[in-house]
Amino acid sequence: MTTIVAIYTGQGLSERIQPIFREELPGCRLVTIIDDSLIADVIGAGKVTPDVTRRLVQYYRHAEEIGADVILNTCSSVGEVADWAMPMFRTPIIKIDEAMAQLATKRFDRIGVLATLPTTLEPTRRLLQKEAEQQERKVEVLDALAVGAYQALVAGHPEEHDRLILEAAKSIAVRADVLVLAQGSMVRMEEALKQATGLPVYSSPRLGVLAVKAALEQLGK
C-alpha cells in the first residue's frame, strides 16, 4: 500500500490535515509522527538549532524505515531543514508550504505574509523570495506578526488567536494583493480573512497534500 508519513512539530495541525488526505488520497496509508518538543525548542531558541535539525533528520530516517513513499514536512519553521536534508534520502520530502509559495509568487506582485511566530515569518519570507527568483519575477513581501496569537491558541483561547490574526491581516491588507498564511495551523482563519479583507488568502494544508499527490503520481503510485 502507498504510504505517506507526515511529520509534525506541534499539536493540532494533524487533525486538520488528515481529512484532506482522506479526501484527496483515500487509498493511501497515512502515518503521523508528532514531536511537539521541536517547535518548543525552536521558539525557545528563536531559531532552528543543530539539535532540532538532528532530531528532525532522524524522523525522516524513521519515515523511510516505515516505508514512506513520500514524506510530508508540515512545519514551515523547519522547512529549510528539509531543503538541506533532501539529498540524503531516497524518499521525496515535500514541504507543506512550497506549493503555496509557488502559487502566490506566480500570481501576485505584493504578497502579505501573516504569522503567529517570528520563527516562521522569516523562513516564509525567504521561501517566497526564492520562488520568485526561480520564476524570474520581482515581488514585494510584506509581513505582519500576530503577536501572542500562537500562545493564545496553545493556552486554549482560539477566539483570541483568531482576533489577533485578524488585526494583523488588516494592518497589511491595504498594501497587499494576496495574504499568505505562514503556518498550517492558521488555516482555520482562511475564510474569515477573505471576508474581512476582500483579498485572496492562501493557506498550506490542502496545497501541501496536493503536492504530495503530484509527487506520488510522478512515482507511478
Q: pLDDT tens for residues 156-206? A: 898 999 999 999 999 999 999 999 999 998 998 999 999 999 999 999 999
Which residues are CB-neighbours of 203 under 8 A, at least 6 positions away? 100, 181, 184, 186, 187, 190
Residue 12 has pLDDT above 80, yes or no: no
**Distance in angstroms (rounded) separating the CA atoms of residues 59 and 196:** 39
Task: Write down the pLDDT at residue 46.
Answer: 93
Which listed CATH number (3.40.50.300, 3.20.20.70, 3.30.530.20, 3.40.50.1860) goes with 98-203? 3.40.50.1860
Contacts 24+ apart (CB under 8 A), 81-90: 81/48, 81/52, 81/53, 81/56, 81/57, 82/56, 84/53, 85/56, 85/57, 85/60, 88/57, 88/60, 89/60, 89/61, 89/64, 90/64
User: Which residues, 6+ apart, have CB-to-CB distance to 61 below 8 Å?
Assistant: 89
> 70-106 burial string, b = 16+ CB within 10 Å, else e?
bbbbbbbbbbbbbeebbeebebbbbbbbbbbbbbbbe
Residue 11, pLDDT above cutoff 90: no
Q: Considering Cα of 11, then 16, then 22, then 25, what sign does the dihedral take?
A: negative
Q: Does domain 3-95+206-218 have CATH number 3.40.50.410?
A: no
The secondary structure element, H or E, covering residue 107 is helix 98-107
pTM of the predicted model as reported, rounded to 2 decimal places: 0.93
pLDDT by residue (tens digit) across 38-53? 999 999 999 999 999 9
Domain boundaries, the chain: 3-95+206-218, 98-203
Q: Do domains 3-95+206-218 and 98-203 have the same CATH topology?
A: yes
Residue 154 has pLDDT above 90, yes or no: no
